[in-house]
Structures are given as C-alpha cells and as structure tokens.
C-alpha cells in the first residue's frame, strides 16, 4: 500500500507540473443514468455491467448444467470442482454436513454471484466490478442477516439466541452493561454492515488502483512529451499488470470471505453444543 | 481523498439509489432461483447418479471377483480329484502289473519244472534203452573177444551162452553194488 501511496503522490506531482494523467475518482462509481433515466428502472454503467454479467453467468452455467454428463469433460469438471469447493470447504467446513445441507444453495448463490460480479472489474470493456455499488453487497448481506435471524428463531427461539449472543457464560454483571449493547449492535448492524462495506470497499479500492496505474501509464508513455517519463510508464504498466492479477485473486478472496462469514453467522444462530 | 471526492460527496457511495435497489433485487432473485431450482439440483442429480454408478460398479466387481473365486475353487477341486484318481489308477495298474508278473513267473516256473521233469524222464528212458542195447552189444563184443582168445574151445554154443550169462550176472552184481 505504501507503493500505492507513492504512486498517487507521484501522480499528484505530475498533475501539478503539467496537465497530468486522468485521476480516477469515486465519480466512476456514481455514473450517470443512461437508460430509463429518472424512473425506478434507470440503469447506469455499473448496472448494465451487472445485468450483462448476470446473463453471461446464467447462460454459461445454464449450458454447462443442461449439458452435464455423468462422465465430466474438463469444463464440467472445473464447474463441479467449484460447486464441491463451496459445499465442502466453505459450508460443511463451517457448519458441518448436518446443518450445512440446507444452506448449500444459498452460500453457492452468494459465492458464485459475488465471484462473477467481482471479476467484471478486470474484464476488458466492463472494467468495473458489478458489486461496486452499495446495494449489491448490501442485498447479499441482508439475505444473510435474514437467514441467521430465521435460523436463530427456528433452532433455539429468539430469546435463547439473544441470551446466548449477549450474555456469554462467566461474564460478571458489570461487564454485561457494556457487553449487551455491544453484542446487540454487532448482531443487528455490524455483521451486515461489515459484510457490505468489506466487499464494496475492496472493489472500489481495487478499481481505483488498477485504473490509476493504467491511466498513469497512458499519460507517461503516450501523452507526456518528456522521454524520461517513459521509465515511470513502464513501472506503472508493470504495477498495473500485477494489480490486475491481484484483483483476480481479490475477486475470489472476497467471494470466499463473504460466503464463509455468511456460513459462520448462520452457524452462530444454532444453539451451542457442549 | 479530497482529490477523489471532487465531483460528488463520498457519502453518495453509501446511499442506495432506488434503481440500484431494484436491479440488485432482481438480479439476486433471478440468480437465486437459477441456483436453487436448476443449477445445483442438476449437479446434485449428476453427483448422486455417479455415486450410485460407482457403488453399482463396485458391487459388480465384487460379484465378478466372487464368481471368479468360486470357479477357481471348483477347478482346483476338480484338479485335486483328478490327481487323486490318477494316483489311484496308477496304484491299481502297478498292483495289477505285479500280479501279472507274479502269475507269469509262477507259470514259467511250473512250465520249467515240467520241462525239466519231462527231460529227466526222457533222459532216463534213453539211458535205459542205451543200457539195454549196450548190454547186448557188450555181450556180443565180449563173446567175440573171448572166442578169439579162447579159440575153438568156446565154439560150442552151450558153453558160449552159459559163459555170457555168468558174465552178465557178474556185471549186474557190480552195478548193484555200485548203486548201493
């Protein structure tokens, strides 16, 4: 991150010196409405990307599923590996098979959708994650939120759940005065908010860094007259390349974290077994 | 951050637009239905079918193995029986052969004994014949010899025959004495 700061600083200096590279800003995440503007069905660039990616995902996975054979080919094997990865390494790993079975479709939906949407950030032509507006992460977080409250009411009753979460055994009474509000805030606000913000912030930050690198490269190599800046351009290009690969990893990592934390929160709604 | 927040306030990032709410919900519902109703059940069916097939295949392989073991045991049993039978037949044959040899030997021995006995008999009878003819010839020879020695004295036939008889008696007595 220090490198990023240095780069940003360098870019700032360049900006001051001459007309400078185009610095990406949060405006890119608040793009103008381009279709059905002013209606509740208005679409901006990010929503277009999201809808296109949804269609692509449904078509690709749909064709894979409808052509699925008993003896899988390479692509089917890869998709099956993904399904089994989510099931075994995320859901069953956290909740165990008995509890987890019910939640496999939910967590799979969350994982695959977030992963595909995150990947939009490095797909040329889209160049922005479909999860990079507040609502998309938030709606996944709300789904998790609803599910863990439902699980709590179903498995042990609301009061028992609140007691389990807010008053851990062995905590002396004075501490509870602090602890109970904190825990209530945690299960009511912090959990969904942290899920939402973690994903959103990762996507925004990743896009800004990659965009900054390539914008700087564009400026150094093509627009700038000074040949000495070519070297800086090569560095920013290499860094942009590395960050693009890193964003691919982050796309997976954030999907994994979101899916795992959803499983964990739902699992915490179940009564503790000694 | 000031640089980044030039256009709109950063807070705007966290304030959902109504169309964002709608499109996120629509996307989530569509995707969730796809995963719940089609994608995962389809693959679950494939996984189940594959597991069943593998289990079926393993059962089949086990059965084939059992069959092969049974067949092997059967053939081994047959082979053992055959081996025992062969040994029995060989023993029988050996016994029979020794019987045959013993019989042949007995028969040969009796034949040989009979042949020996016959030969003995024939030799004895020939000896008897030879003895008889010898007795005659010796008599004639001795008479002739004695005649020549004694000349005319013995031309009388009475004397001649009495002399032969007494001589043969003498020989017989000699023989009898030897036989004893």
CA distance B178 to B45: 127
Per-residue confidence at B166, pLDDT binned at 50, 70, 90? confident
Spatial neighbors of A36 by CB under 8 A, at least 6 apart, are A42, A43, B19
Could you tell me if residue A32 is left (phi over 0), alpha (psi between -120 and 50 degrees) or otherwise beta? Answer: beta
B149 pLDDT more than 80: no
pLDDT means per 10 residues in chain A (274 residues)? 44 50 83 85 90 95 92 92 95 93 95 95 90 93 96 92 88 90 94 96 93 89 79 90 95 96 94 75
State the first-to-last Cα distance of chain A, in angstroms, to the nearest integer: 43
pLDDT band at B178 (very low <50, low <70, confident <90, very high): low
Residue with token string 């036989």 = B179
Please give the residue of chain B at the shortest CA–CA distance from A40: B19
Å from A83 to nearest chain B CA?
8
Under an 8 A CB cutoff, do A83 and B19 touch? no
Give the residue from A166, A145, A125, A164 showing the smallest Cα distance to A265. A145
Would residue B26 count as lying in a domain? yes
Supply the pLDDT for residue B180: 57
| Contact present, A214 and A240 (Cβ < 8 Å) | yes
Query: Which member of A25, A68, A136 has the closest CB to residue B42?
Result: A68
Q: Are B19 and A40 in contact (CB under 8 A)?
A: yes
Question: Could you tell me which residues are beta bridge partners of residue A35?
Answer: A43
Q: Is residue B89 part of a domain?
A: yes
* Residues A153, B35 contacting (CB under 8 angstroms): no
Question: In chain B, how many domains are there?
Answer: 1
Whether B5 shows a pLDDT value over 50: the answer reads: no
Bridge partners for A33 per DSSP: A44
Q: How far, rounded to the nearest angstrom, does the alpha carbon of residue A86 sit from its chain's CA centroid? A: 16
- Checking if the pLDDT of B55 tops 70, the result is yes
3-state SS of B24-77 is HHHHHHHHHHHHHHHHHHHHHHHHHHHHHHHHHHHHHHHHHHHHHHHHHHHHHH
Q: Which pLDDT score, from 0 to 100, does residue B12 have? A: 83
- Write the ipTM: 0.83
The mean pLDDT value of chain B amounts to 86
Is B4 within the bounds of a domain?
no
- Domain assignment present for residue B21? The answer is yes
pTM over 0.90: no
Is A65 in contact with B30 (Cβ distance < 8 A)?
Answer: no
Q: What is the pLDDT of residue A256?
A: 96
Structure confidence at residue A10 (pLDDT): 46
Region B140-154 average pLDDT = 72
Residues of B with CB under 8 A from a CB of A: 3-8, 10, 12-25, 27-28, 30-32, 34-36, 38-40, 42-43, 46-47, 49-50, 53
For A67-83, letters b (16+ CB in 10 Å) and e give ebeeebeeebeebbebb
Any idea which residue has 């009898």 for tokens?
B176
Residue B41 lies in a domain: yes
The CA distance from A50 to B25, in Å, is 12
Beta-bridged to residue A43, according to DSSP, are A35
Angle at B12 between CA A207 and CA A54, to 5 degrees: 55
Q: Has residue B3 been placed in a domain?
A: no
Size of interface A-B (CB pairs under 8 A): 122
Please report, for chain B, how many H helices and E strands are present, in that order: 3, 0
Q: What is the pLDDT of residue B156?
A: 66
**Closest partner residue to A65 among B28, B38, B49, by Cβ?**
B38
Which helix (H) or strand (E) element contains residue A33? Answer: strand A33-35
Domain residues for the domain of B56 are: 10-179
Q: Cβ separation of B6 and A40 shorter than 8 Å?
A: no
What is the structure's pLDDT at A233? 87
Angle of CA points B164, B166, B172, to nearest 5°: 100
Residue B139 counted as domain residue: yes
Binned at pLDDT 50, 70 and 90, residue B8 comes out as: low
């Amino acid at each position: 991150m220090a490198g990023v700061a240095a780069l940003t600083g360098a870019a700032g200096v360049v900006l001051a010196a001459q007309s400078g590279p185009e610095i990406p800003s949060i405006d890119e995440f608040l793009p103008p409405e381009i279709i059905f503007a002013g209606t509740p069905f208005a679409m901006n660039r990010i929503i277009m990307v999201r809808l296109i990616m949804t269609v692509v995902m449904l078509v690709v996975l749909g064709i894979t599923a409808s052509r699925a054979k008993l003896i899988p080919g390479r692509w089917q094997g890869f998709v099956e590996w993904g399904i089994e990865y989510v099931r075994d390494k995320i859901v069953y790993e956290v909740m165990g098979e008995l509890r987890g079975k019910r939640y496999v479709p939910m967590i799979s939906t969350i994982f695959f959708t977030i992963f595909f949407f995150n990947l939009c950030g490095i797909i040329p032509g889209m160049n922005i994650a479909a999860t990079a507006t507040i609502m998309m992460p938030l709606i996944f977080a709300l789904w998790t939120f609803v599910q863990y409250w439902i699980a709590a009411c179903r498995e042990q009753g609301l009061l028992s759940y609140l007691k389990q979460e807010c008053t851990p055994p062995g905590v002396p009474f004075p501490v509870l005065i602090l602890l109970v509000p904190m825990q209530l805030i945690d299960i009511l606000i912090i959990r969904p908010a942290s899920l939402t913000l973690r994903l959103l912030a990762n996507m925004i930050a990743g896009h800004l860094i990659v965009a900054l690198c390539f914008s700087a490269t564009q400026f150094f190599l093509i627009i700038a007259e000074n040949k000495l800046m070519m070297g800086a351009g090569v560095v920013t290009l290499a860094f942009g390349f590395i960050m693009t690969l890193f964003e691919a990893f982050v796309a997976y990592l954030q999907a994994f974290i979101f899916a795992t934390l959803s499983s964990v929160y739902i699992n915490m709604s179940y009564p503790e077994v000694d | 951050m000031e640089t980044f927040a030039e256009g709109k306030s950063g807070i705007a990032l966290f304030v959902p637009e109504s169309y964002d709410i709608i499109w996120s919900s629509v996307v989530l519902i569509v995707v969730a239905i796809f995963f719940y109703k089609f994608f995962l059940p389809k693959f679950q069916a494939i996984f189940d079918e594959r597991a069943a097939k593998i289990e079926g295949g393993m059962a089949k392989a086990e059965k084939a193995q059992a069959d092969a073991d049974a067949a092997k045991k059967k053939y081994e049993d047959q082979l053992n029986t055959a081996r025992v039978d062969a040994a029995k037949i060989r023993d029988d044959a050996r016994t029979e052969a020794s019987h045959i040899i013993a019989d042949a030997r007995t028969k040969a021995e009796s034949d040989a004994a009979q042949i020996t006995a016959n030969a003995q008999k024939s030799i004895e009878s020939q000896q008897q014949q030879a003895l008889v003819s010898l007795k005659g010839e010796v008599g004639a020879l001795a008479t002739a010899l004695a005649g020549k020695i004694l000349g005319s004295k013995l031309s009388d036939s009475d004397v001649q025959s009495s002399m032969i008889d007494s001589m043969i008696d003498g020989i017989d007595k000699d023989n009898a004495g030897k036989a004893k």
